[in-house]
């Protein structure tokens, strides 16, 4: 009788294991997945709060707390009460490309000394102002691209919190249709300073995703312009990679 009970229990465990395995390969983001984030995140935008809200919704979908993510306009940056150093991560919305043109706002971001995830041209322009190698001056506009190449699959951005199951040299679709990207040029010696993460398939000397110190450029805009990008066109794999990028930057 004990032997029968053992085999029945074992069979149930196998069935449950198969079910979980199938669910994890379904390409959907689990409702409770991702890091819940113990530090706050602020998404800085110019005029399109609705655009910034879409990135916030993506993070909430992945398990981040609504209360831990704040949307902040340019005008709020001008307030003396605004303290960016209290956030765990600053995300620059793709339509906030004029941010780097304002000395006072730029000074407040610089003095925060916080990790920054800059999206598309807005991020590249900001990083240029910070004199980084992943800034606008070392980037090129790449149009009509929806996929990228995996540079080093052992890097944590491919594994945590979502394991994308890729190998170095693989190509994965990040967007459902072609979008613009501000991609970093791999000039001589730059890979000793910058972690090159996602390679362009159309222009192999350029990289859509790159990390320098505590600054990460997500070059893709998510649209056919630099100023109107949002996560609507991300594939499930693209969403997971973006969430992984956020989780990575929260550790910086």
Q: Would you call 233 helix, strand, or coil by DSSP? A: helix
Q: How confident is the model at residue 136 (pLDDT cuts 50, 70, 90)?
A: very high
Considering the chain, what percentage of its residues have pLDDT values greater than 90?
66
Q: Would you call 160 helix, strand, or coil by DSSP? A: coil
Residue 221 tokens, joined: 């805009």
Strands 89-92 and 116-119: parallel
Give the DSSP per-residue string, 83-117.
-GGGSSEEEE-TT-TTGGG-HHHHHHHHHH---EE
Please give the mean pLDDT across all residues of the chain: 85
Residue 111 tokens, joined: 């003095």
Contacting residues for 208 by C-beta, under 8 A, at least 6 apart: 142, 145, 148, 174, 181, 183, 198, 199, 200, 218, 219, 220
CATH fold for domain 41-249: Rossmann fold (3.40.50)
- 121 or 101, which is more confident: 121
Maximum CA extent, the chain: 78
Q: What sign results for the dihedral spanned by CA atoms 180, 182, 188, 190?
A: negative
How large is the average pLDDT for residues 192-204? Answer: 95
Residue 130 pLDDT more than 50?
yes
pLDDT tens for each residue of 2-56: 444 444 444 444 444 433 333 344 444 433 333 443 469 999 999 889 999 999 9
Sorted by where each begins, the domain ranges of the chain are 41-249
Residue 252 pLDDT more than 70?
yes
């Amino acid at each position: 009788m004990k032997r029968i009970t053992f085999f029945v229990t074992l069979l149930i465990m196998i069935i449950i294991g198969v079910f979980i395995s199938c669910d994890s390969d379904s390409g959907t983001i689990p409702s409770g997945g991702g890091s819940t984030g113990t530090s706050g995140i602020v998404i800085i935008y110019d005029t399109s709060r609705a655009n910034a809200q879409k990135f916030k919704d993506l993070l909430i979908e992945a398990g981040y707390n609504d209360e831990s993510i704040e949307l902040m306009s340019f005008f709020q940056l001008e307030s003396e009460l605004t303290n960016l150093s209290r956030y765990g991560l600053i995300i620059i919305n793709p339509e906030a490309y004029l941010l780097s043109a304002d000395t006072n706002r730029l000074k407040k971001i610089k003095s925060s000394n916080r990790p920054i995830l800059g999206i598309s041209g807005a991020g590249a322009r900001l990083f240029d102002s910070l004199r980084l190698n992943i800034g606008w001056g070392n980037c090129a506009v790449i149009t009509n691209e929806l996929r990228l190449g995996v540079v080093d699959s052992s890097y944590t951005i491919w594994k945590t919190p979502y394991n994308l199951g890729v190998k170095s040299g693989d190509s994965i679709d990040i967007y459902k249709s072609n979008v613009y990207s501000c991609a970093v040029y791999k000039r001589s010696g730059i890979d000793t300073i910058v972690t090159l993460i996602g390679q362009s398939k159309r222009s192999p000397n350029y990289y859509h995703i790159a990390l320098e110190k505590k600054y990460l450029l997500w070059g893709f805009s998510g649209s056919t312009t630099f100023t109107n990008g949002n996560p609507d066109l991300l594939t499930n794999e693209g969403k997971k990679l973006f969430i992984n990028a956020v989780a990575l930057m929260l550790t910086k």
